[in-house]
């Protein structure tokens, strides 16, 4: 990835180089007495606090000063003859104990944003803005940080990623255990087998489940393995990119409860989803993204009950458990974004004013925000 931002600040040496994923596994599992036998399909519930993760003394719950502050994040991809403006001028903050849900339709830039934070964008990406990670090791500017720094200090250590499709994220030719133990070893963990078992139990998996190949895992089990990988390094920030794709509603609900548990034990969660119902279950704060920009931000309950941006209102009305009325029209091509409001062509409130770009002011980027009594 080439970037137009300055590189990170001076960095102390970290632990061993790792590929994506886990650092030293911190917590011992509180054990999970309900998982004392094989879990045949992995989707049978093994609930309780263990499913949420568990936090070590001195772990994320103790790290009160941690936060991620993103300012003006902008990502574009250069293609022959075109530029994809995937993310434009996005700012937000995530803190321990809170879950921010980033919601928006497919293709609006959610995953690109997440990958930008972790230095996982391809070489044709251009990135601008700031993303400052403040935590125990001191502040770190993520955008433009050297790959070695991101691998050593960020991915899997400060920030755990729960990927968009857990099953395909795992290498198909190796067991879940081989992958989890390798990640633990790379992060310097000597007793990787025992740690892997502990992490599995905390996710409600039987250790024997780790000996399966990815194609032998049900959706729910793959999800739990992904959670175990994400938590192995005891990160204070969890980045969950559409973690419930392909899961049925009970599994979605349980995954959301687990994410909420991670917040409640003092981690920060950035949840990326287009499932508003899932977001409602877990999020403290909501950021609504449209065509690469945040169009509304605020407390999740308020935004979902009384959206002020016409797009946010449209998303709420499109919920299957609400009016189930789709937003007419299609999002714009990110190679041909209009100068003004990108939602105007689909917006019932649009008028001449909307040819000028609306700034995000007071949590809403709209020239004609809905009033509380109209939403
Ligand atoms: N390497 C790339 N080169 C060019 N365009 C890209 C590249 N990666 C992503 N894009 C484009 O960036 C836009 C945003 O993609 P992104 O994956 O972030 O969407 P998303 O909001 O995560 O959608 P979904 O909900 O479907 O996962 C899309 O138009 C996508 O085609
Ligand atoms: Ni995505």
Residue 70 domain flag:
yes
Q: What is the mean pLDDT of residues 295-317?
A: 97
114 CB near ligand 1 (under 6 Å): no
Q: What is the mean pLDDT of residues 14-22?
A: 29
Residue 311 domain flag:
no
77 CB near ligand 1 (under 6 Å): yes
E strands, the chain, in order: 2-3, 67-79, 82-94, 99-103, 125-135, 138-141, 159-162, 237-241, 268-273, 285-290, 293-299
pLDDT digits (tens, 9 = 90+) for 80-94: 999 999 999 999 999
Residue 128 domain flag:
yes
- Position 345 scores a pLDDT of 96
Residue 372 domain flag:
no
Residue 314 domain flag:
no
Residue 16 domain flag:
yes
Residue 21: which residues within 8 A CB-CB, separation 6 or more? 155, 156, 161, 183, 186, 229, 230, 232, 233
Taking all residues of the chain, what is their mean pLDDT, rounded to a whole number? Answer: 83
Q: What is the mean pLDDT of residues 196-212?
A: 95
Checking if the pLDDT of 230 tops 90, the result is yes
pLDDT bin (cut points 50, 70, 90) of residue 251 is confident
Measured in Å, residue 216 CA sits from the centre of ligand 1 at 29
Q: Which residues pair with 70 in a beta bridge?
A: 92, 131
ipTM (interface pTM): 0.99
Nearest CA to ligand 1 atom 8: 112
Nearest CA to ligand 1 atom 30: 107
Domain that holds residue 115: 2-27+58-290
Say how many residues make up the chain.
375
87 CB near ligand 1 (under 6 Å): no
- Position 67 scores a pLDDT of 96
Domain count, the chain: 1
274 CB near ligand 1 (under 6 Å): yes
Residue 85 domain flag:
yes
> pTM of the full predicted structure?
0.83
107 CB near ligand 1 (under 6 Å): yes
- Position 373 scores a pLDDT of 56
Cβ neighbourhood burial of 328 (10 Å; 0-12, 13-18, 19+): exposed
Q: Which domain CATH number covers 16?
A: 3.40.50.300
Measured in Å, residue 352 CA sits from the centre of ligand 2 at 33
pLDDT bin (cut points 50, 70, 90) of residue 187 is confident
92 CB near ligand 1 (under 6 Å): no
Residue 155 domain flag:
yes
Nearest CA to ligand 1 atom 18: 109
């Amino acid at each position: 990835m080439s970037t137009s931002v300055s590189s990170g600040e001076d960095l102390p040496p970290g632990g061993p180089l790792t590929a994506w994923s886990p650092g030293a596994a911190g917590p011992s599992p509180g054990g999970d007495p309900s998982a004392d036998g094989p879990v045949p399909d992995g989707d049978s519930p093994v609930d309780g606090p263990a499913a949420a993760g568990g936090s070590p003394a001195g772990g994320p719950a103790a790290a009160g000063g941690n936060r991620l502050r993103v300012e003006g994040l902008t990502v574009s991809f250069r293609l022959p003859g075109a530029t994809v403006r995937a993310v434009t001028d996005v700012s937000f903050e995530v803190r321990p104990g809170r879950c921010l849900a980033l919601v928006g339709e497919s293709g609006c830039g959610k995953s690109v944003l997440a990958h930008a934070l972790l230095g996982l964008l391809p070489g044709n990406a251009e990135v601008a803005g700031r993303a400052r990670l403040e935590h125990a090791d001191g502040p770190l500017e993520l955008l433009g940080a050297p790959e070695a720094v991101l691998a050593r200090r960020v991915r899997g250590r400060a920030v755990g990623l729960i990927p968009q499709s857990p099953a395909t994220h795992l290498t198909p030719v190796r067991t879940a255990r081989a992958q989890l133990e390798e990640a633990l070893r790379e992060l310097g963990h000597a007793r990787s087998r025992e740690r892997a078992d502990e992490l599995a139990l905390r996710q409600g998996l039987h250790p024997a489940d780790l000996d399966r190949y990815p194609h032998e895992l049900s959706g729910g089990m793959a999800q739990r393995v992904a959670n175990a990988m994400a938590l192995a390094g005891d990160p204070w920030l969890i980045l969950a990119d559409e973690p419930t794709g392909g899961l049925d509603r009970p599994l979605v609900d349980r995954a959301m409860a687990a994410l909420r548990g991670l917040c409640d034990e003092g981690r920060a969660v950035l949840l990326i989803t287009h499932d508003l119902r899932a977001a409602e279950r877990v999020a403290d704060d909501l950021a609504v993204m449209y065509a690469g920009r945040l169009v509304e931000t605020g407390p999740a309950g308020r935004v979902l009950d009384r959206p002020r941006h016409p797009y946010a209102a449209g998303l709420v009305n499109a919920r299957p458990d609400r009016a189930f009325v789709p937003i007419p029209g299609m999002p714009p091509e990110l190679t041909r974004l209009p100068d003004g409001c990108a939602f105007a062509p689909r917006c019932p409130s649009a008028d001449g004013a909307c040819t000028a770009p609306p700034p995000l002011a007071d949590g809403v980027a709209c020239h004609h925000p809905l009033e509380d009594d109209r939403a």
